[in-house]
Amino acid sequence: MKKYLLLVDDDLDLMYAVSRYLSNEGFSVISVSSGQDALKILQSKHIDLMVTDIIMPNLDGYDLIKLLRISPKFFNLPIIFLTAKGMTSDRIKAYDLGCSSYLTKPFDPNELLSIVRNLLKNSDVISESVGISQNNNQNKLVNSILTSKELAIFHLVYQGLMNKEIAVKLNLNLRTVEKYVSRLLTKSNTRNRTELVKFALTNNLFDSRANDGNRTRE
């Protein structure tokens, strides 16, 4: 299935060059030159991944991602910052705000392509991992209090994967996975991974065939 990318940059020459490159690689690319236009596209069209500059007038990349990450609809949208801002403090701020990857200009188009493909693959894993039944009222309650990324990590814990394995599978750093698991324990009122898996089994959250009972570890 063709993936839809949104490219946001007020450098029109660069934007068109990147757009042509990604289009030639088989993606459907929508290009806009401002954060405001990006928001309009995101509200009206399905977008699988966004590549955005940071330094833009009126609504910069930082403010754009802030607006997106507070919305459940866009909380897990893969977002790549493609920017001339190369300081470590810039990267830290971007990752703290929720960017998926950070690439500085000038850049190698092949590296951008690799990042795009990897993030889209991981996004598909997250979507496929969330196997919650929508027919059970209690499952609906769980679905309402957990984000889709929390559910994806929950499902991988349920399958018996350790934090390091989950980090590799979802392209996250280990500390981020640890924070998500800790959040899951808090929200499910459980004390460890074993109780968390029992919680999932008791509430019939996932296909029971996904866990054979042998890989669950503290």
**Which CATH number belongs to the domain containing residue 160 in this structure?**
1.10.10.10
Which domain range does residue 161 map to?
130-210
Looking at the structure, tell me whether residues 110 and 147 fall in a common domain: no
Q: Give a yes or no: residue 218 inside a domain.
A: no
Looking at the structure, tell me whether residues 100 and 152 fall in a common domain: no
The type of residue at 82 is L
Rounded CA separation 95/93 (Å): 6
Helix (H, G, I), strand (E, B) or coil at 212: coil
Looking at the structure, tell me whether residues 95 and 153 fall in a common domain: no
Rounded CA separation 13/70 (Å): 31
Q: Give a yes or no: residue 216 inside a domain.
A: no
pLDDT of 214 > 70? The answer is no
Residue where one domain finishes, among candidates 68, 86, 121: 121
205 falls in which pLDDT band (50, 70, 90)?
confident
Looking at the structure, tell me whether residues 35 and 115 fall in a common domain: yes
Looking at the structure, tell me whether residues 76 and 48 fall in a common domain: yes
Rounded CA separation 82/15 (Å): 10
Beta strand extents in the chain (DSSP E only): 4-8, 28-32, 49-52, 79-83, 101-104
pLDDT tens sequence across 20-57: 999 999 999 999 999 999 999 999 999 999 999 999 98
Q: What is the CATH number of the domain that holds 87?
A: 3.40.50.2300
Looking at the structure, tell me whether residues 13 and 76 fall in a common domain: yes
Ramachandran category for residue 143: left, alpha or beta (phi over 0 → left; psi -120 to 50 → alpha): alpha
Rounded CA separation 135/146 (Å): 17
The pair of three-digit structure tokens given for residue 157, joined into one six-digit string: 């814990």
Q: Are 158 and 146 in contact (CB under 8 A)?
A: no
Q: Are 216 and 197 in contact (CB under 8 A)?
A: yes
- Three-state SS string across 48-75, please? CEEEECCCCCCCCHHHHHHHHHCCCCCC
Looking at the structure, tell me whether residues 116 and 8 fall in a common domain: yes
Rounded CA separation 49/192 (Å): 34
Looking at the structure, tell me whether residues 112 and 200 fall in a common domain: no
Looking at the structure, tell me whether residues 32 and 60 fall in a common domain: yes
Residue where one domain finishes, among candidates 94, 121, 148: 121
pLDDT tens sequence across 117-164: 999 988 766 565 554 444 444 455 455 567 778 888 888 898 899 999
Asked if the peptide bond before residue 106 counts as cis, ω within 30 degrees of 0, the response is: yes
Looking at the structure, tell me whether residues 38 and 85 fall in a common domain: yes
Q: How many CB atoms are closer than 10 A to CB 19?
A: 18
pLDDT tens sequence across 154-178: 888 988 999 999 988 888 889 889 9
17 falls in which pLDDT band (50, 70, 90)?
very high
Rounded CA separation 3/81 (Å): 18
pLDDT, position 218: 45
Above pLDDT 90, what percent of the chain? Answer: 49
What phi and psi values does residue 4 have, to the nearest 5 degrees?
-105, 125
